[in-house]
Amino acid sequence: MPGRSAKYFPLLFAGIFIHFISVAQPPGYYSSAGGLTGNSLQQALHDIIDNHIVLDYSTLPGHFQSTDRKIDGKVWDMYSDIPGGTPFYTFDFNQDECGNYSQEGDCFNREHSFPKSWFNDLSPMYTDLFHIYPADGWVNGKRANYPYGITASPAWTSTNGSRLGPSSYTGYNGIVFEPINSYKGDFARTYFYMAVRYYGEDSGWTGSDMVTGSQPKEWALKMLMEWDLADPVSQKEKDRNEAVYLVQGNRNPFIDNPSYTNLIWGTQSRIDNSMYKKSVRIWPVPAKESVTIELPAEWQTGCDIRVIDISGREIHNITHAESPVRIYVTGFDAGYYILILKSGREVITTKIVVLH
């Protein structure tokens, strides 16, 4: 099986085991996927990451201590964490595992971000760490097996801003669970992993309003690709990818190579991905007061610009803009925004980041 070359060396010194771990993407790990697109690329990536080491469900909380540990030693729970801020509560690995709970903050448990009812509790996906995260038990219960999505009128909101309510995203109007913006890309790349890892192995899955087998439905695919663009791969994801690789022996290709998303689904998502073909310079990154955009040299007649927040709301637009374009962002909330640039029939979709 490709890529199982992680090194693990235990040494005994003065009665204490010291572990030296060397783990990274091995050279040539994705070589068999080179030059492929669409279903051919999906099949090639499946063959690379298939047949991972299957874990016992009872061992997952122990593995979380290497895959989902924050710098301060606390549990990294994406349903309660507030990046750059102070969460309302935190969990300790050794004393806060559920158990019973009656409110948010009582304890954490194992969240199948791709709900297990969608694949009939089958193995090996039932214990696949790439889609299982530690999460507040109460919030996990609220999420239940609803699809991820965007809601403009939430019926319930968690302490970190995760929301439950009717979908406001075009193509679906059922109940959805919306994670905070800082982790939407994490969950998008989790779903891309599931689509590839279980490609062709999902014939018995129940599915849901979000997926058919392991594959996102049209509305969900478009949304997830938008999340992927707006919330790019973080150091947290890179570190988790390495930690899971050490445990399971496989990797998430969309963390290692984000371009795979477009190469597989770019023509299906109805997102114009000419952003990969033309050059747009944006600075500073992140922006605090203003952002400057240098348009492609070919766009002599300028372009129309739309700025959309991660919930899909248009918050700014400019018509017939000429390069360079300056947008003042002091009135924007901190976070990621999708930038849509249109000149004639050409469209470029990219992102800007705002901090205050």
pLDDT tens-digit map of 190-217:
999 999 999 999 998 999 999 999 999 9
Q: Could you give the residue ranges of the DSSP H alpha helices within the chain? A: 38-49, 60-67, 137-143, 184-197, 218-230, 235-248, 253-256, 259-265
What local confidence, expressed as pLDDT, does residue 218 receive?
95
The verdict on residue 269 lying in a domain is no
Q: Average of pLDDT values for 133-149?
A: 98
| Domain co-membership, 228 together with 283 | no
Query: Is 50 exceeded by the pLDDT of residue 277?
Result: no
Are residues 196 and 289 located together in one domain of the fold? no
- Tell whether 210 is covered by a domain: yes
The pLDDT assigned to 144 comes to: 97
Start-to-end CA distance of the chain, whole Å, equals: 47
pLDDT band at 20 (very low <50, low <70, confident <90, very high): very low
Three-state secondary structure call for residue 31: helix
Instruction: Indicate if 109 and 162 belong to the same structural domain.
Output: yes
Does 184 lie in the same domain as 68? yes
Number of H helices, E strands in the chain: 8, 16
Rounded to an integer, the average pLDDT of 333-343 is: 86
In a domain, 72, yes or no: yes
Q: How far is CA 202 from CA 17, 112, 328, in A?
A: 42, 17, 48
Contacts of 236 (CB under 8 A, 6+ apart): 76, 186
Tokens representing 159 are 């302490």
Q: Same structural domain for residues 278 and 226?
A: no
Q: State whether 288 and 192 are in the same domain.
A: no
Across 6-15, 150-159, 172-181, least confident range: 6-15
pLDDT on residue 274: 45
What is the Cβ-side half-sphere exposure of residue 249, based on CA atoms within 13 angstroms?
A: 12
Stated pTM of the model: 0.74
Asked if residue 244 is part of any domain, the answer here is: no
pLDDT at position 269 is 60
Query: Could you tell me what percent of the chain has a pLDDT over 70?
Result: 89
Cα distance between residue 278 and residue 54, in whole Å: 43
**pLDDT at 52 (0 to 100):** 98
What pLDDT sits at residue 275? 42
Q: What is the mean pLDDT of the chain?
A: 88
> Quick check: is 344 in a domain?
yes
In a domain, 263, yes or no: no
Residue 200 confidence (pLDDT): 96
Cα–chain-centroid distance for residue 62?
Answer: 23
pLDDT at residue 271 in the model: 56
**Where are the strands (E) in the chain, listed by range?**
7-13, 16-22, 108-112, 132-136, 156-157, 163-166, 175-178, 211-212, 215-216, 281-283, 290-294, 303-309, 314-321, 325-328, 335-343, 346-354
Which of 229-233, 242-246, 256-260, 293-297 has maximum average pLDDT? 242-246
The answer to whether residues 278 and 224 belong to one domain is: no
Do residues 217 and 292 share a domain?
Answer: no
Are 336 and 218 in a shared domain?
no
Same-domain pairing of 189 and 292: no
Query: At 336, is the secondary structure helix, strand, or coil?
Result: strand
Residue 14: pLDDT above 70? no
Total number of domains constituting the chain: 2
Give me the mean pLDDT over the 304-312 stretch. Answer: 85
Stretch 298-318: mean pLDDT: 83
Same domain for 199 and 74? yes
Same domain? For 202 and 279 the reply is no
- Per the structure, the complete domain to which residue 347 belongs is given by 274-354
106 exposure class (CB count in 10 Å sphere: 0-12, 13-18, 19+): middle
pLDDT band at 142 (very low <50, low <70, confident <90, very high): very high
When pLDDT is cut at 50, 70 and 90, the band that residue 278 belongs to is low
Encode pLDDT of 36-92 as tens digits: 999 999 999 999 999 999 999 999 999 999 999 999 999 999 999 999 899 999 999
- Which pLDDT value is given to residue 237? 96
Is position 134 within any domain? yes
CB 349 within 8 A of CB 328: no
Q: Of 232, 253, 225, 231, which is closest to residue 241 (Cα–Cα)?
A: 253
Confidence at residue 112, expressed as pLDDT on a 0 to 100 scale: 98
Q: Of 296 and 339, which is predicted with more confidence?
A: 339
Residue 150 · residue 162 · CB < 8 Å: no
d(CA 333, CA 356): 8
